[in-house]
Amino acid sequence: MYKRQVPDVQHIVSVCRDGYVRATSALDIDFDRDDPVVTFDGLARNSVFIKTIERILQVLREEMQTPVDIEFACDGKQFYLLQCRSQNSGPESLPGLIPKDIERSNIIFSASRHVSNGTIPDVSHIVYVDPDGYSELQSLDDLVAVGRVVGMINAMLPKHRFILMGPGRWGSRGDVKLGVQVSYADINNAAALLEIAKRKSNYVPELSFGTHFFQDLVEANIRYLPLYPDDEGIIFNEAFLTRVTNILPRLLPDYVRLAKVVPAGGPQYAAGVPPTGPNIKIKGISAASHGRVTLGRR
């Protein structure tokens, strides 16, 4: 009932008629007859609006000396700039040189979907939340505690020198089974955030693609990468990620209950992957020393 009261609504919506979505005009649109679809096609065709946006971005880029993205509001007459943030466009965003002579047994994981460019140097640890171990937890308290432990590890490890890997959606606030419940403060020291979509029966978990913390990740230059270990041609060295020495009882004795599925013996390593430093494992949460991550395509 309020559709006609939206200023310049014809620039915001198109109409669906006879199975086709098409542009409309102020004189042609009939909300009693048509099904409106929000497309912003009218704004895209409005050269004045596009030129206004272009000029604002140009001025902000010149003043801030870096590319920016903006949030804005417009009532058809006035333009309101709500937020302005710098974009990462430095050398760290350039494609990395990926070696071709690495033995398969020495590759921890590979990815082929939504891979950005860049190199993450001096990686000292991988913090791994095992998808299988996480799904086996039945207590809500234990599920929530996994996120709490991740936050504690985040505060312990060297800043921007470790990678966080976990099942499903990092930062899940609804169904905690969909992913580890953390806030940005629990992951803000990581160098990269990886979400694992590991198939279980015929179900593949839906990932967040970093949207829960997207702008924070961009501004802090924390890399995001989705992993689909069941995809054809993908390497996922689960043995390396899970066969590590468990020092959780010593670091966080209050959370020893989360380490019950971890063998009490010494560490075992995947073929070709030598022990390289301290390790942490917490009911499917593991951290293992490594070196460098290169992002890009061969």
Confidence at 247, pLDDT banded by 50, 70, 90 = low
CA distance 192 to 197: 16
What is the phi/psi pair of residue 169, to 5°? -105, 105
Please name the helix (run of DSSP H) or strand (run of DSSP E) that holds residue 97, with its range, or none: none
CA distance 108 to 127: 13
Beta strands per DSSP E along 155-200: 162-167, 192-196
Interacting residues of 266 by C-beta distance below 8 A, sequence separation 6+: 245
pLDDT at 199: 83
Confidence at 185, pLDDT banded by 50, 70, 90 = very high
CA distance 59 to 70: 12
- Return left, alpha or beta for 102; rule: phi > 0 is left, psi -120 to 50 is alpha, else beta: beta
Give the tokens for residue 246.
Answer: 């468990």
SS3 call for 268: coil
- Amino acid identity, position 260: K
Higher pLDDT, 286 or 165: 165
Weakest mean pLDDT among 5-14, 160-169, 274-283: 274-283
Domain ranges of the chain: 3-44, 46-86, 91-295
pLDDT at 265: 25
Confidence at 17, pLDDT banded by 50, 70, 90 = confident
Please determine, for residue 228, whether its predicted confidence score (pLDDT) is greater than 70.
yes
Burial group, residue 48, by CB count within 10 angstroms (0-12, 13-18, 19+): exposed
SS3 call for 160: coil
Task: Write the pLDDT tens digit of every residue in 25-70.
Answer: 766 777 777 778 788 888 777 768 888 889 999 999 898 888 888 8
- pTM for the structure as a whole: 0.63
Is residue 280 a contact partner of residue 286, using CB atoms and an 8 Å limit?
yes
Please determine, for residue 222, whether its predicted confidence score (pLDDT) is greater than 80.
yes
Task: Write the pLDDT tens digit of every residue in 266-297.
Answer: 233 332 333 333 334 443 444 444 455 555 54
Please determine, for residue 135, whether its predicted confidence score (pLDDT) is greater than 60.
yes
What percent of the chain clears pLDDT 70, i.e. is strictly above it?
Answer: 77
